Amino acid sequence: MIGYTCVGTNDLGKATHFYGELLGVLGAQPFFKSDRGVGWGVTPEQPMFSVMKPFDGQVATAGNGAMVALAAKNPEQVQALHAKALALGGTDEGAPGPRGGSFYGAYFRDLDGNKLAAFCTVSA
């Protein structure tokens, strides 16, 4: 159902580096690049993640209550994504761990304050 997601940035160079390194943990590669943004994906058949300078030319702001969740293969990949985000200058919003039932997740913010989650499901 989801074709792609997009978060805004005020520094495309820094955001491109952050997400290039972060999404590389999932095996993603750039699918498009323009003067306004970059989009990454694993395959053309799966949803793409993009970061863009706002089209209206206004300052990019993080949405209150908005979050993009990155699907990981296992808890180790959730941990790797969270650690990579923090190493790249992101901020912690919730350390990796079980969140009830079979949900295992971690939360962080990118350099522009956008909130992301990394998650997987585990056997109970």
Is residue 51 within 8 Å of 116, Cβ to Cβ? no
E strands, the chain, are 4-8, 29-33, 37-41, 48-52, 68-71, 91-98, 103-109, 115-121
Encode the chain (124 residues) as per-residue pLDDT tens digits. Answer: 788 999 999 999 999 999 999 999 999 999 999 999 999 999 999 999 999 999 999 999 998 889 999 999 999 999 999 999 999 999 999 999 999 899 999 999 999 999 999 999 998 6
- Domain covering 4-55+66-121 in this structure, CATH number: 3.10.180.10
How far apart (Å, rounded) are the C-alpha atoms in residues 63 and 23? Answer: 21
Every domain of the chain and the residues it spans = 4-55+66-121
Residue 113 CB-density burial (10 A; 0-12 exposed, 13-18 middle, 19+ buried): middle
Contact at 8 Å (CB) between 75 and 64? no
